Amino acid sequence: MVTDYYISENSNFAKKEIKYLNWEKDFGIKIIKIKRNGKYLKVISDRTQIQPNDTLTIIGSNSEINRFRMIYK
């Protein structure tokens, strides 16, 4: 399953590097794209910092994404 996840201004994930999120380890989901200011970032690495108002495209199984969304609405 592929879906988008919006990072709000007051999100706990804002201003954190991807490597510190541990989403792949904790939930089995991976960030595959980041849309920022209307454009997709060309390069994403574990050092990429998530910013408020980013839209993350994530991939994982239905159950992994549903479990993630239940915890981080």
In tens, the pLDDT along 6-64 reads: 999 999 999 999 999 999 999 999 999 999 999 999 999 999 999 999 999 999 999 99
Give the pairing of strands 55-59 and 30-36: antiparallel
Is the pLDDT at 73 greater than 80? The verdict is no
List of domains in the chain? 2-71 (3.30.70.1450)
pLDDT on residue 14: 96
Composition of the chain by helix, strand, coil, percent to 5:
25, 30, 45
pLDDT on residue 72: 86
Q: Which two tokens stand for residue 67?
A: 């479990």
Global pTM?
0.91
Q: Which two tokens stand for residue 18?
A: 């991807």
Q: How far apart are CA 1 and CA 14, in angstroms?
A: 24
Question: Which residue do the tokens 């089995």 mark?
Answer: 28
Q: Which two tokens stand for residue 59?
A: 């991939």
